[in-house]
Structure 1
Amino acid sequence: MQIRYILALGLLPCQAMANDAVPEPAPDQCLVAPPIPLPSAPQSASAEEQVEIRSVSSDAVMNQNATFEGDVQFRQGNRSISADRANMDYEKQQLNAEGNLVFQDSQFTVTADNLSAKIKDNSATLNGAQYWLHGQQVHGNARKLEITKDNNLILSGTDFTTCPPGDSSWLLEAERIKIDSSEEWGEIWNAKMRIADIPVFYVPYMTVPVSDKRKTGFLFPQFSTSTTNGVEIATPWYWNIAPEYDLTLTPHYMSARGLYLQSEFRYLAGDAQAGRVNLEYLGSDRLLENSDDRYLYHWEHRGAIDKHWRVNAAFTDVSDNNYFNDLDSEVARATDNQLSRIGEMSYFENDWNISARVQDIKVLGEDEVPYQVMPQLSFNYRSQDLLNTLEFSFFGEATNFEHKEQDQVTATRLHLQPTLSLPIHGPAGSLTSELTLLQTNYWQRNTDLMPDSELNSSVSRTLPRAKVHGQINLERNTQWLGESYRQTLEPQVQYLYVGYEDQDDIGIYDSARLQDDYYGLFRARRFSGLDRISDANQLTLGLTTRFFDDRNQEQFKFSLGQILYFSESKVSLTEGIAEERPSSSAIAAELDAHLYEDWYFSGALQYDARTRDNKKSEFTLDYRPGGEKLVQFSYRYVPDLVNTNTNEEVGISQAGMRTTWPLTDSLYFVGNWYYDLNESRSVEAYTGFQYESCCWAVRLSYHYRIKTNYDDDFNPVQDNRELFESGVYLNFVIKGLGGSGPMGVSDMLDEGLFNYRKPLYLRN
């Protein structure tokens, strides 16, 4: 027989967390199995929730006490207690329970030998307790566990871990632990850390998180050794200044160089703006000939002031050209050689926007100094309902170019670009006609400093541009190797006409040659910027075909295109030198294919049929059989690159391999190797092993790579400066003590000079 009592009494404290939802559990192999949850009771809508008591039998004296026996269940809202026996003392407002005792609420689950709860002040004490924090993978034992009236936990003679039961990888023992449910942090007194049941260190006082909230304290150290920096030890310290501000200070000791100090200050400015400030300093670098000080400072800020205004700002400077090559900065990689300094503010409306920008670029390792944009004002307008289907757009830009060197020509440029377009779209294809007027005025200063040039102090350039682009979409059902597919055929054609004007009287301020590829065949210009607008009278032909399976997923895509020139272009970036323009461009082709089961191929080729030369090519072959399983072979070839420092023609011919593979459920391998066929040498090799369990993770990696060494007035390149660098790196994280550490292998694929090209196919 079950006996049921309904009592209008407060039993235990309410949940103090802001979110009552329990986070999703960890993977099955990492689950800590708490007692089976009791069925949830319907939530009462009244302000004072009732307490429901059930048992097999009971014996009660009105307003004095009640005794319950057999499958006793107390429930109030989302809090519940189950026990074999319980006694309620009405005069003392106290509940005692024992025998197979389980206490649960939305924050934690506790089993114990017995429980004593004081109903009046909403507190409870459990002896011989085992506890689990919901959603945090934290569990442990306690001689005594107290639940205070503020819903905090105080544990005496306790321990905890994030490892599954029976796994003694790590365990923290403590004399006393206090877990603040509102702050979501734990204070620990007289703590002893055991790893593999061996005591490794003692801490008289420490704090640890029991949620994702930030807390001031040391983060996990990092260890590595390399041929250039020697033994490295970094010990980050995090300062949670305020909800809107934090600071990370990292003393980074390198035995070969000295003490390298890094800091990062992050801030929020309102709901939609954020930024950071980085300061880095290495005093008296022992590997430099003059033992100079090295430094970096960086600031970036971006966001929205309101629904119309946007801001973006960034500034970076370093002491020398080889800073990123030698030091592991938080701001940029060794492959970055341009430091962009920019300040921009923009205003947006539905049909138009306006922006103001200043920009300066510092190029590391090159003598040439780019022009500064001081400032630039731009305006965009678009009307899509002008005379039914006719569209009108307008682009305007006013830019002032300055230079740090006084003997350089500077200029102010005004560019106006109205465009009328007539787009016609339908399921079978599209046809877009476009007519544009390009009006540009230059006012150039200091032209007398360059008497041998043709630069004029005032230049007006007016060019018409007409473009017609059409595309047809065809499709059919077909069979291939016994499989059904839907094939599309998408031919497209574009005619482009741009008028000619001699532009040798205009300096080069922000223009460069654009990259050629299949999609570049349909661009309306050959150069970036506005200093050179190439004349054109050409026809572009392109064709794309795709195969889709019965699930409408693309399995094959091939594109092929070429430009046919009706007349030679007379405009080039180099003054007075006409570039050779054949009657047709190189043939550009791109291919992406799911070859068979887990094999994928991707390639791009630019082939000059006239000279029978390969102008550029790159290919990748992927084997991706499942989650985080990858083997990729790659090759790239570019014959006509020029070294900007020596003006020598250099080419790239490199082959590489990259792989990641789970050796077991917890152990992963990642490796890559790239070989320079021109120089007959390896340029990079990386090998990494990562072991990750439920409660700790470790990564050991070896890296060998070529170093970029710039000539630098700060400290000239020395003969003993290494061309290659090798190093061993170790990362170790104990989960549940504030470590975040390596979690998966996708970031390992991005280690090194050559990143993985298609991380989209890795499923974490």
Structure 2
Amino acid sequence: MAKRDRKDQPLAATDVESPVEPKPMPKGLPKDQTELLADTITGRNDLEMIANGNAELRRDGALLKADRMVYNIVEDNVDAQGGVIYRDPGQGSVMTGSEANMVVAARTGYIDNVNYEIRQQQRVTQPNQGPWTFNTPSIGGTGAAATSQQRSTTPGSVPAYGGAASATMTQEPGVSQIAAPATADTAPVDSPNANMTGAEGPVQLPGQAPLAKVIETVSHGQASRIYFEGEGRYKAQDATYTTCPAGDSGWYLRASTYHADYEQNSGSASNSLLYFQNVPFLYTPYAFFPLDRGRHSGFLSPSFGSSQLNGFQAAVPYYFNLAPNYDATFTPMVYGKRGVSLNMDTRYIGNEGKTVAPTFSGRDAFNIMPHDSMTNRNRWSFLTQHQQNFGTYLPGLTGAWDLQGVSDSYYFTDLNNSLAAMSQSYLPRTGRLNYGSSSWNASVVAQGYQTLNFNPSSPVATPYQLLPQVNFSMNRSLLGSAGFNNVRLNDQDELEVIQSSGMFDQPTRLDALVSANNSYFTNQTQGYVQGNRFWAYPQLATSWQSPGVFVTPKFGVHYTQYNTNAGQLTTSGAYNGTSSISSDVASRTLPILSLDTGMVFDRKTEYFGRNLNQTLEPRLYYLYVPYRDQTNLPLFDTGVADVSYAQMFSENMFTGWDRVSNANQVTAAITSRHSMEKTGQQLMSFSLGQRIFFQPQQVNLYANQPTSSYGSNDYFAQASGMVAPYTSLNTYAQVSPYAQANSASNNTTSVNRINRASIGARFQPSRENVLNYTYRYQNQDYIPGGATSGASSSAVMQNDINGAWKIWGPLRAVGRYTYSGVQSSQIESLAGLEYNAACWALRAVYHRAMTYSSTQTPFLNTSFFIQLELKGMGSVGSSPLDVLRRNIPNYTRTSDAAFMAPMTDPYY
């Protein structure tokens, strides 16, 4: 077999002859007809033909060129010699070589001493994040430790669990350019941008249509011989492969044997050596990689890294693409200081009946470390989630479960690198059935939690379990769209609508609203009250409207009844300050009256040369709720609502109905909005409000808590929107009067004090460039709904700056720094560089955060991430992408920006 002239380099731009436009086939030529052209042709038409000089063989769009050809008509075989060029537009392939032998129709044979180029177009998608997407932490990841965060110690205040990113195994090809947009209805099911464990792309039902674009992937290289094994299938010997542009030796793979199947979009190489910048750095006896951005079974790129807590770490995942709507990933992981863990993660989605939309989906994951050498025990975790729509059998009926658990409280802090997962205090164990119709809804819920206490200095209280909870709600219109002036009783004593011309003849409603809930609460902690709580809240609400004016009165009665074991407890139910609970049966009845009114004025204006619509929206909201002593009522699932501008217009300052705040107050507010005149897109909004208390707040969470720190007046302000080109702002502040002691006069002086404030700004001129700044402040004496003297743990004074910015060509800097003024120390810091070339990317990131672990007291844990991404092959190293996405809001990987719609700015 002849040797190539040059086999130490990938294909250069001069190694492949520029494609010559084939001679057009005569119109009306049958599809399977073979055409042979040359300077001279000899032989027999029914047996064999010999073509010399500029010989061309054409069939079904494919073209073979050579100096000399011998075509066997009977066997449909051609032998070509000298200056061989093979082009198959259907497969996007162009090959040059010294000689070839092929069966034309079957597309089998070989070419010797080959330089090849293969162009493949594919629609790649970004999934629409719908109700079938779970947002939960991964089970088992590369080791790190948890951040130090303040966590709730109230059994009724249970934070949501989720938001952690998945494991860091990636497998992605490079993209040379975007060829053309694709319509959603022709998009395939595979996606390149899902942040899933093990492989790219969500599991989807056939026919689902996320957003899509068409991209063109170009691969090329050299081989001593390439075998044609059918349409779109090739085997190369002594070959190189790369997706880098011609002449760019960023990376390439040299293998003894290389298989490529463009029908299945999968490739494999045996006895291969991976080169980066012409330097060999990774040998593998067998390597598998995709030829597109879809999902394929096989080994994924290994992940390597190290951390202060776990030492050297390595993971080698294997991905099972079992079906378009079902997959699994098995990942063995090695921790240098701990041992080996095994992780299995599966996902599925499907439908029943003839529906196109999915009717069920879920995920199951399990991780086990048989022996942790640092703790001398087994470590494990599990997660199972399922969502079901029973609409095929009973329209309106849905169900779901979410069950999670770990072997111990330090599992996430020791073994998972996702800070969002490591800071969780509760793992849910929930099941739900829900039935909904156009006017009413009912549900049954069973819910429990596993409590994680990884910070001994701030223990987490055990939350109550619901066994079970039954919910009901109804909203029914009594008068439809008729105003009161348009309604009368007819002769049959029925309401009917008449015509009149009163001021409030615009569409008006009278609605009956009913909400009810019955819950049975249990708790494993000794001394906690347990039992049943029932509440019902019937309401009548109406609304008079005319252009620019609305008036909405509402009246309701909230009734709550408890049947508990409080009288049987030797501690008299003493927990969280509710020491006065002594009765098994208790109830509370409260009328609630509110009146919400507002007006809207608008005008034309101009800002940054753009024509805008500006509105001015004054609003008055009155709320009356009489005071009831509630210190004899248990506290099951209620906490204090986070004070905000929107909360000024709510009926209750608490998040649950174990407590109902007394109120005799008016909220006066005004909002101004600026919107684009042509499109209606809102650019900015500014709001200012004042809440005036006619009587003080008297209801608190706990019996021994002082009366509220709210003053007679509260002021709220917020602003948000695009205040300038590429610049957004989001600010909030609450100011309240505060009784300040005057030691000289032994009197108190009322002074205004900022209780809470935040300022957030973002400058983002492109997907790749973003800068964020946030300042958060909370007064040390401030506790929503109560007062305290002296400094408290609720004090917050933080500066947070982060961003990603191109500093030179393909080089981008990333970073974050968060500083606490209360603790006079940093909370978290990050710094790194990203270099994004045409066919590879290199990321190096340093990360430091306050953490906890099972073997150490709180300490600043330092982690380093170095990842080399070879586009078209995969990635090597420890991926920092999860850390970057969590630390830098709106962070976008440069290679992903090509699949996103360009950023638009309303000012341009």
Q: TM-score per shorter chain, which class? A: 0.7 to 0.9
Q: Does 1:174 align with 2:255?
A: yes
- When normalised by structure 2's length, the TM-score is 0.70
**Deviation of residue 425 (structure 1)?**
5.0
Contact 1:72 1:85 in 2 (8 A): no
Q: Does 1:237 align with 2:317?
A: yes
C-alpha separation in 2, matches of 1:634 and 1:192? 47
Residue matched to 1:246: 328
C-alpha separation in 2, matches of 1:758 and 1:143? 44
**Deviation of residue 586 (structure 1)?**
2.1
C-alpha separation in 1, matches of 2:262 and 2:792? 66
Q: Does 1:655 align with 2:736?
A: no
Paired residue type of 1:418:
P
Q: Which residue, 691, 710, 734 being the options, matches 2:870?
A: 734
Paired residue type of 2:88:
Q
Evaluate the alpha carbon distance shift between residue 305 and residue 700 of structure 1 in structure 2; reply closer, same or farther with a 3 A threshold: farther
Residue matched to 1:401: 521
Q: Does 1:103 align with 2:87?
A: yes
Aligned pair count reads 715
Contact 2:696 2:712 in 1 (8 A): no
Residue matched to 1:350: 438
C-alpha separation in 2, matches of 1:34 and 1:648? 76
Contact 1:382 1:393 in 2 (8 A): yes
Evaluate the alpha carbon distance shift between residue 581 and residue 662 of structure 1 in structure 2; reply closer, same or farther with a 3 A threshold: closer
Q: Superposition pairs for residues 584-603 of structure 1, below 5 Å?
A: 584-603=712-731
Residue matched to 2:510: 390
C-alpha separation in 2, matches of 1:280 and 1:342? 20
Evaluate the alpha carbon distance shift between residue 585 and residue 266 of structure 1 in structure 2; reply closer, same or farther with a 3 A threshold: farther
Evaluate the alpha carbon distance shift between residue 312 and residue 41 of structure 1 in structure 2; reply closer, same or farther with a 3 A threshold: farther
Residue matched to 2:810: 666
Q: Does 1:683 align with 2:827?
A: yes
Evaluate the alpha carbon distance shift between residue 39 and residue 395 of structure 1 in structure 2; reply closer, same or farther with a 3 A threshold: farther
Evaluate the alpha carbon distance shift between residue 524 and residue 132 of structure 1 in structure 2; reply closer, same or farther with a 3 A threshold: same
Residue matched to 2:906: none
**Larger strand percent:** 1
> Does the residue aligned with 1:333 lie in a helix, a strand or coil?
helix
Paired residue type of 1:278:
A
**Deviation of residue 510 (structure 1)?**
0.6
Q: Superposition pairs for residues 37-436 of structure 1, below 5 Å?
A: 49-51=31-33, 53=35, 62-64=45-47, 72=56, 74-76=58-60, 79=62, 88-95=71-78, 99=83, 101-113=85-97, 114-119=99-104, 121-129=106-114, 130-135=116-121, 136-149=217-230, 151-229=232-310, 231-240=311-320, 242-243=322-323, 244-254=326-336, 257-268=337-348, 270-271=350-351, 272=358, 273-282=360-369, 291-306=376-391, 308-329=396-417, 332-365=420-453, 366-384=459-477, 386-388=479-481, 389-424=509-544, 428-436=548-556
C-alpha separation in 2, matches of 1:163 and 1:427? 62
Residue matched to 2:213: none
Evaluate the alpha carbon distance shift between residue 564 and residue 115 of structure 1 in structure 2; reply closer, same or farther with a 3 A threshold: same
C-alpha separation in 1, matches of 2:380 and 2:709? 47
Q: Does 1:518 align with 2:600?
A: no
Residue matched to 2:668: 541
CA-to-aligned-CA distance 1:513-569 (integer Å, 9 cap, x gap): 001111111112111121112232222111111223566544432111122223334
**Deviation of residue 674 (structure 1)?**
1.3
C-alpha separation in 1, matches of 2:298 and 2:599? 62
CA-to-aligned-CA distance 1:428-473 (integer Å, 9 cap, x gap): 2433332323232221124331435234222333322232222322
C-alpha separation in 1, matches of 2:602 and 2:443? 44
Residue matched to 2:754: 614
C-alpha separation in 2, matches of 1:90 and 1:251? 58
Paired residue type of 2:632:
D
Residue matched to 2:690: 562
Evaluate the alpha carbon distance shift between residue 342 and residue 52 of structure 1 in structure 2; reply closer, same or farther with a 3 A threshold: same
Evaluate the alpha carbon distance shift between residue 133 and residue 590 of structure 1 in structure 2; reply closer, same or farther with a 3 A threshold: same
Contact 2:885 2:891 in 1 (8 A): no
Contact 2:289 2:300 in 1 (8 A): no
Paired residue type of 1:729:
F
CA-to-aligned-CA distance 1:612-666 (integer Å, 9 cap, x gap): 11100111233334332223332111124679xx995441111122121112332
**Deviation of residue 173 (structure 1)?**
1.9
Residue matched to 2:885: 750
> Does the residue aligned with 1:750 lie in a helix, a strand or coil?
helix
Evaluate the alpha carbon distance shift between residue 472 and residue 747 of structure 1 in structure 2; reply closer, same or farther with a 3 A threshold: farther
Evaluate the alpha carbon distance shift between residue 208 and residue 605 of structure 1 in structure 2; reply closer, same or farther with a 3 A threshold: same
C-alpha separation in 2, matches of 1:548 and 1:656? 30
C-alpha separation in 1, matches of 2:478 and 2:80? 77
C-alpha separation in 2, matches of 1:399 and 1:418? 18
Paired residue type of 1:556:
M
Higher relative contact order (CA 8 A, sep 6+): 2
- When normalised by structure 1's length, the TM-score is 0.83
Residue matched to 1:579: 707
> Does the residue aligned with 1:324 lie in a helix, a strand or coil?
helix
Contact 2:566 2:582 in 1 (8 A): no
**Deviation of residue 287 (structure 1)?**
5.4
**Deviation of residue 161 (structure 1)?**
1.2
Paired residue type of 1:690:
E
> Does the residue aligned with 2:421 lie in a helix, a strand or coil?
coil
Evaluate the alpha carbon distance shift between residue 751 and residue 479 of structure 1 in structure 2; reply closer, same or farther with a 3 A threshold: closer
Contact 2:295 2:321 in 1 (8 A): no
Q: Which residue, 617, 626, 631 being the options, matches 2:771?
A: 631
> Does the residue aligned with 1:390 lie in a helix, a strand or coil?
strand
Evaluate the alpha carbon distance shift between residue 188 and residue 287 of structure 1 in structure 2; reply closer, same or farther with a 3 A threshold: closer
C-alpha separation in 2, matches of 1:34 and 1:474? 70
C-alpha separation in 2, matches of 1:186 and 1:472? 65
> Does the residue aligned with 1:521 lie in a helix, a strand or coil?
helix
Contact 1:338 1:361 in 2 (8 A): yes
Contact 1:41 1:75 in 2 (8 A): no
Evaluate the alpha carbon distance shift between residue 676 and residue 724 of structure 1 in structure 2; reply closer, same or farther with a 3 A threshold: same
Evaluate the alpha carbon distance shift between residue 269 and residue 224 of structure 1 in structure 2; reply closer, same or farther with a 3 A threshold: closer
Paired residue type of 2:817:
W
Paired residue type of 1:251:
M
Residue matched to 2:560: 440
> Does the residue aligned with 1:431 lie in a helix, a strand or coil?
strand
Contact 1:228 1:722 in 2 (8 A): no
Bigger shift: residues 348-357 or 676-685: 348-357
CA-to-aligned-CA distance 1:323-345 (integer Å, 9 cap, x gap): 33333256953332232222222
CA-to-aligned-CA distance 1:389-432 (integer Å, 9 cap, x gap): 33333322221111113532212122222333223456524333
Contact 2:666 2:691 in 1 (8 A): yes
Contact 1:638 1:652 in 2 (8 A): yes
Gaps of 5+ in 1: 1-29, 710-714
Contact 2:17 2:96 in 1 (8 A): no
Gaps of 5+ in 2: 1-12, 122-216, 352-357, 454-458, 482-508, 573-578, 738-749, 785-789, 901-908
Contact 1:545 1:557 in 2 (8 A): yes
CA RMSD between the two structures: 3.9
Contact 1:475 1:489 in 2 (8 A): yes
